[in-house]
């Protein structure tokens, strides 16, 4: 199954993050806990589930995966 990468931005705390899913979903802010944040865009290409597993495994091992989405707080 192909997944898409969704981009989120919280107006309350100005936090930004990425999430991968097979359908567009509403997410809660990972920084301040604000509820019902909708994605403002999705990547045009699709991301395979196997690639997501490799990236997630590298994160858990404490390694930097190439081109992995990072949680970041906007200035």
Q: Which CATH number do you get for residue 33?
A: 2.20.25
Ramachandran assignment for 60, one of left (phi > 0), alpha (psi -120 to 50 degrees), beta (any other): alpha
Domain range for 44:
2-59
Q: Is residue 7 part of a domain?
A: yes
Query: Which range (22-26, 41-45, 58-62) has the least confidence?
Result: 58-62
Q: Is residue 74 part of a domain?
A: no
Under the banding of pLDDT at 50, 70 and 90, the label for residue 65 is: very low
The answer to whether position 71 is within a domain reads no
Residue 67 is assigned to a structural domain of this protein: no
What percent of the chain is predicted at pLDDT more than 90?
Answer: 39
Query: Do 27 and 37 contact (CB within 8 A), yes or no?
Result: yes
Q: Is the predicted pLDDT of residue 16 greater than 80, yes or no?
A: yes
Take residue 5 and report the two structure tokens written for it.
């990468």
Distances (CA, A) of 31 to 1, 27, 28: 29, 12, 9
Whether 68 has a pLDDT exceeding 60, the answer reads no
Q: Is the pLDDT of residue 45 over 80?
A: no
Question: Has residue 72 been placed in a domain?
Answer: no
Q: Give the number of domains in the chain.
A: 1
**Is residue 43 situated within a structural domain?**
yes
């Amino acid at each position: 199954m192909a997944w898409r990468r969704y981009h989120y931005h919280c107006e309350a705390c100005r936090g930004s993050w990425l999430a991968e899913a097979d359908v567009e979903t509403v997410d809660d802010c990972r920084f301040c806990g604000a509820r019902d944040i909708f994605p403002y865009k999705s990547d045009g290409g699709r991301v395979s589930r196997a690639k997501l597993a490799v990236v997630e495994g590298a994160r858990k091992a404490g390694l930097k995966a190439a081109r992995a989405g990072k949680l970041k707080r906007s200035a």
